[in-house]
């Protein structure tokens, strides 16, 4: 059964923390182990391999944990364990089970199997997983890849990013000067390709409305083929792919690869330095890039966001106040769970007419008049 909880995603500065080893848990400065934390509700988070300071979904999830603690610091304390590889998923979850965490939040689609196994074996423990409708066809628990009955003690936090991806693609098509835009992914998994599907579809819709022929490099929604770094940590690969796109004429790049997007941003910066003027720009993913990577803000037309912080905060608070029910939360344009970030430095550069079109498109997606296509169901 799916449940939809209305959560308004709030934009706030990402707290970028130094990575820690996967063998020891970390906590925020105000929640270090001491007698003062005894008896508090303990919220625990296991990162994916991108790490706590990935400027993307891990950092956003940790911010949500900290927001939950800030909501009631006398009762709640939070900590995390970092995964250096997929081999750390299960041991990190097991370590937190041993600490009797009130909820264990796992970050990322790739943690479905480890999370599902632990939740099934520990039905009295509470879990939440980011970017996975656990047990579904798009995020199966078993190695067979077949849908299975999701454990009732897991809160799945997923985001219909084909919607704001569509808006991002439409915006890119309206802003390109070369008639070529590009996108690439970290890994070819549904939570990545759903963004890319939306971006591709948004460009096609702009072409149909304006009788233009903007090309998308790096992805095709129809064939489900494109460019991937096969990593959320290899910044060099992100830089190399972006350099290739720029050499092929793309002037707006949309990396869907977590922290690897920093490599793309470096390539954009280098290209503009070489040209002596700003001719290449990009869009960030998951978070507001002007907050999470402010050194590159002048290149970010917008960011295609999802409200991970608010969803994670809500999961922790419901576990603490005994209203946790499990199920699936779906972030949409309608409930604020997905959105385009402010234009920041581009506020005066995006034509008013294009901004008006985006506002209209948003409402038409919410109403169901426009239904962006995707092969990656939430």
Extents of the domains making up the chain: 26-159+308-331, 162-306+337-367
pTM, 2 dp:
0.85
pLDDT digits over 64-86, tens only? 999 999 999 999 999 999 999 99
Question: Averaged over 287-297, what is the pLDDT?
Answer: 95
Task: State the chain's mean pLDDT as an integer.
Answer: 89
Instruction: Decide if pLDDT at 28 tops 70.
Output: no
> In this predicted structure, which of 82-91, 270-279, 312-321 has the lowest mean pLDDT?
270-279
Dist CA 140 CA 334 (whole Å): 27
What is the percent of the chain where pLDDT is above 90? 79
CATH code for residues 26-159+308-331: 3.40.50.2300
pLDDT of residue 150: 84
Question: Secondary structure of the chain: what % helix, strand, coil (to 5)?
Answer: 40, 20, 40
CATH superfamily membership of 162-306+337-367? Response regulator (3.40.50.2300)
* Surface-to-core class of residue 130, CB atoms within 10 Å of its CB (0-12 exposed, 13-18 middle, 19+ buried): buried
Is residue 265 within 8 A of residue 293, CB to CB? The reply is: yes
Dist CA 297 CA 285 (whole Å): 13
Query: Do the domains spanning 26-159+308-331 and 162-306+337-367 agree at the CATH topology level?
Result: yes
pLDDT digits over 308-334, tens only? 999 999 999 999 999 999 999 999 999
> In this predicted structure, which of 148-152, 155-159, 246-250, 258-262 has the lowest mean pLDDT?
148-152
């Amino acid at each position: 059964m799916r449940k939809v909880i209305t959560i308004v995603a709030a934009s706030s500065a990402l707290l970028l923390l130094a990575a820690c080893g996967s063998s020891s848990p970390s906590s925020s400065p105000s929640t270090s182990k001491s007698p003062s934390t005894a008896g508090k509700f303990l919220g625990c988070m296991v990162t994916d391999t991108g790490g706590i300071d990935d400027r993307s979904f891990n950092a956003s999830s940790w911010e949500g944990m900290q927001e939950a603690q800030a909501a009631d610091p006398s009762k709640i304390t939070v900590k995390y364990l970092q995964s250096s590889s997929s081999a750390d998923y299960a041991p990190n979850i097991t370590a937190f089970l041993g600490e009797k965490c009130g909820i264990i939040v796992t970050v990322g689609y790739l943690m479905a199997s480890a999370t599902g196994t632990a939740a099934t074996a520990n039905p009295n423990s509470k879990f939440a997983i980011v970017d996975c409708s656990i047990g579904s066809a798009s995020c199966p628990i078993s190695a067979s890849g077949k849908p299975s009955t999701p454990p009732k003690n897991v809160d799945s936090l997923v985001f219909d990013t084909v919607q704001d991806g569509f808006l991002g693609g439409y915006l890119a098509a309206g802003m390109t000067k070369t008639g070529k835009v590009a996108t690439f992914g970290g890994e070819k998994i549904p939570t990545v390709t759903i963004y890319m599907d939306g971006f591709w579809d948004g460009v096609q819709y702009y072409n149909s409305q304006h009788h233009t022929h903007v090309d998308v490099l790096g992805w095709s929604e129809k064939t489900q083929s494109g460019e991937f770094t096969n990593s959320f940590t290899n910044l060099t690969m992100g830089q190399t792919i972006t350099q290739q796109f720029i050499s092929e004429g793309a002037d707006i790049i949309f990396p869907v690869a977590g922290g690897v997007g920093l490599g793309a941003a470096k390539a954009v910066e280098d290209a503009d330095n070489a040209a002596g003027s700003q001719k290449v720009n990009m869009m960030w993913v998951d978070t507001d890039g002007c907050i999470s990577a402010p050194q590159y803000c002048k290149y970010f037309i917008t960011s295609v966001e999802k409200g991970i912080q608010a969803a994670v905060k809500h999961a922790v608070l419901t576990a603490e106040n005994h209203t946790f029910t499990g199920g699936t939360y779906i972030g949409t344009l309608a409930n604020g769970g997905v959105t385009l970030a402010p234009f920041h430095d581009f506020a005066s550069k995006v034509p008013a007419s294009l901004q008006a079109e985006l506002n209209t498109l948003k409402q038409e997606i919410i109403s169901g008049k426009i239904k962006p296509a995707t092969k990656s169901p939430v």
